[in-house]
Structures are given as structure tokens and as C-alpha cells.
Amino acid sequence: MAETVLVTGGAGYVGSHAAALLVERGYEVVVADDLSTGHRAAVPPAARFVRLDLADQEGLQGLFRAHRFDAIMHFAALSLVGESMKDPLRWIGDNTGNAVRLLRAAHEARVGRFVLSSTAALFDPAGDRPIDEQAPVEPQSPYGDSKFMVERILYWADRILGIRSACLRYFNAAGAHPVGHIGEDHRPETHLIPIVIEAALGKRKAVTVFGSDYATPDGTCVRDYVHVMDLADAHIAVLDPLRHRSVRYNLGTGSGHSVREVIRAVEEVGGRKVPVELGPRRPGDTATLVADPAAIRRELGWTPHYPGLRAIVETAWRWHEKHPEGYGPPKSPDSSRPAIRP
Ligand code: UFG
């Protein structure tokens, strides 16, 4: 019988791609999302959708009464690094509180496998060496620390309650499903690749390069862009080892690309010039942030199917070209009423 996976935040960017891949691989999928930032249309039609805020204890209990889950993938979280610097208590309170409520429900329902959408933002990115799992943890924002706190909670949930967990620290999630029916649609958009594509498509005047005087080969910041389908694939790859042990992995390709390289890749894929402006550095940015993904390669044989910038940009371009308005205009207030339909 197919296993059933609960995907919280499955209407969001990475969560919806994981939900899609789970469905493609034959899993039963239940998506729980409050649609505060996610999009209903991003949820695969074959998945069950439950509109739920994880702070709603009763709703959560109802969800676990209605379904028997074999594993949980937890994507739902506040994820804007910059905003977390303005409202630390909200970011930390929501992200840890929701994780604890979810884990309590998991424990009561005897769900023993939990995959956390974690982040490279829990490392201190000083230096330009690829970051492995032994690198010192030194979150530079309440967002990064909230994820690390959840990792610590998971440590105790494993040790005392026997809930096995995988903490997957993503570097720069990018790209879209190869079919082009789901993709990245943050409001407002802050991420580089969608912004560059929007500039190429004439949807914004230009892309501003945040700093061109970094100690990198071309002076612009270097990041490890990892395809969202490869991230989704890693979430599924850990399900089997989670039967026996907890794991934590840094998820990137191991190769960095500069802002200028991203712009060039978009120009090549789109066949048009991208209007560019040079701007000052963005506070909090670091010159280089690249993963050392050797551990997950060695232990699980996970390796990116979209290792190059071009393949990543091609899928992102397809999504943006087919969906110039993303998932469309915001829903009317009436249709945003919570409706719990397990
Ligand atoms: N950038 C620009 N112009 C823009 C937007 C971005 O030059 O308009 C630059 C940034 O300065 C940075 C690079 O492009 O050097 C990538 O920026 P993103 O905002 O796309 O991504 P970040 O590296 O800042 O952050 C991402 C996620 C975070 C996560 C972090 C961890 O957005 O949630 O990676 O690696 F915490």
C-alpha cells in the first residue's frame, strides 16, 4: 500500500515541488497550508488539501484523526530573512511553536519520521570554503536561528520520543518543475533568479546588482543555486534511512555562481538582454555561500539532476514565460475563509 506523507507548506515554493514529486512517485499526499504565502493552485490535484494554520491546535488534531501518516515533511514557516531582523519574536515564536505543535501531534499519532526544511542561514558564512555539516553553527538572523532551534527540538524528539528526523539545510533553492506548471511566486519577490527573469521579460525596469566590490572573481556575490526538484528528491531520499536513524545534510551542488553569471545565463536562455543597474551592497549579504554536499552524496547517493545554472534557469524561464502573473492575482477575501476539509 502506498505510504501517506503529510506536507505542511505544500502550497509554497519548495513544498509544492516536493508534493508534486511525491505524487509522481506514487505516494499519497496530504498538503496542509494556511495559504498565507502559498498558492492553492500550486498543490497537485492528486493531493488532498487541508487549509490549516499550524497554530490551530484543534485543526491539527482533526488532521491527525482524519489521516494515518507514515511521514511528515515540514515546509510551513516564515522564511524572510530580512523581515525576521525586524520582528524576531514572531519569526522565532511561530517557527518553533508550530514545529512543537506538529511534533506533539506526530508523537501522539505515532508518526516516527519527520523531514525539516532547514536552511544554510544557520551557518556563519564568513570565508569562502564550501560548508559541510561540521561547520560551526552561528545563525546571523532570527530566521536562521529559528530553524536551528527546531533542529535542536528534533534532537530531543529523537533522543527521548524516538521520532527520527532529517534536517535538510538548503542553499539557494531555484528553478521550477520541468513541465512548467508550478514554480516560484513569492510576493514580494526578493530572490535573484526570478527578479532577473522578470527584468528580461520587461516586467521590471531592471535588476539591481547588490554590490560589485566583493572579494569574488567578478566582484558580485557567489551562491550555490540548487534546483528545487533536486531538493524535493532529497526529501524523498531520506525517507528510507529515517526508519533507522536521524540525519542532517547540507543541500547544494557544491558549485557557486556569481550574480553576473546568473544574469548571463538568463540572457542566454531567454535570448535577450537584461537591463542591469549597479547598486550598493544589501545589508546582511555575504560574499560567498557554497555547500559541501559530500555527505548526502556518500551516504544516500543523492546527486543533483540539474547541476548547472543553465538547466536551473531554463526551467525557471519556462515557468515565468507560461505564467507571467505567477499563480494569478490575490484571491478575494471571501475565498480565503479557512475551510478544513480532511
Ligand atoms: N541579489 C541581487 N539583486 C537582487 C536580488 C538578489 O544582486 O535583486 C543578489 C543578493 O545580493 C545575493 C544573491 O543575489 O548575493 C542571491 O540573493 P537571494 O535573495 O536570491 O538569496 P540569498 O542568498 O540572499 O538567500 C537565500 C534564501 C534564504 C536562505 C539563504 C541561505 O532566500 O531564505 O539563501 O542560503 F536563508
User: Ligand 1 centroid vs 35 CA: distance in angstroms?
Assistant: 23
Query: ω into residue 188 within 30 of 0, thus cis?
Result: yes
Q: Treating both helix axes as pointing N-terminal to C-terminal, what angle do 192-200 and 309-322 enclose, rounded to 10 degrees? A: 60
User: Ligand 1 centroid vs 192 CA: distance in angstroms?
Assistant: 6
**Ligand 1 atom having least distance to the Cα of 259:** 14
Give the whole-number percent of the chain exceeding pLDDT 70: 96
pLDDT tens digits along 225-273: 999 999 999 999 999 999 999 999 999 999 999 999 999 999 999 999 9
Which protein residue has the closest C-alpha to ligand 1 atom 30?
Answer: 121
**Is 181 a pocket residue for ligand 1 (Cβ < 6 Å)?**
no
**Is 192 a pocket residue for ligand 1 (Cβ < 6 Å)?**
yes
User: Ligand 1 centroid vs 57 CA: distance in angstroms?
Assistant: 34
**Is 288 a pocket residue for ligand 1 (Cβ < 6 Å)?**
no
**Is 250 a pocket residue for ligand 1 (Cβ < 6 Å)?**
no
Average pLDDT (278-303) is 95
**Is 286 a pocket residue for ligand 1 (Cβ < 6 Å)?**
no
**Is 121 a pocket residue for ligand 1 (Cβ < 6 Å)?**
yes
- Predicted confidence at residue 339, as pLDDT, reads 37
What Å distances lie between residue 337 and 35, 89, 332, 340, CA to CA?
10, 26, 10, 10
Q: Which CATH class is domain 4-333?
A: alpha beta
The yes-or-no verdict on residue 22 having pLDDT over 60 is yes
pLDDT tens digits along 120-159: 999 987 777 999 999 999 998 999 999 999 999 999 999 9
pLDDT tens digits along 40-80: 999 999 999 999 999 999 999 999 999 999 999 999 999 99
User: Ligand 1 centroid vs 248 CA: distance in angstroms?
Assistant: 23
- Is 255 within 8 Å of 44 (Cβ atoms)? no
- Is 52 within 8 Å of 34 (Cβ atoms)? yes
At a CB cut-off of 8 Å and minimum separation 6, what does 288 contact?
125, 127, 128, 216, 221, 222, 223, 256
The yes-or-no verdict on residue 337 having pLDDT over 50 is no
Which protein residue has the closest C-alpha to ligand 1 atom 14?
Answer: 192
Which protein residue has the closest C-alpha to ligand 1 atom 19?
Answer: 191
**Catalytic site positions:** 143
**Ligand 1 atom having least distance to the Cα of 191:** 20
**Is 155 a pocket residue for ligand 1 (Cβ < 6 Å)?**
no
Q: Treating both helix axes as pointing N-terminal to C-terminal, what angle do 142-161 and 88-108 enclose, rounded to 10 degrees? A: 20
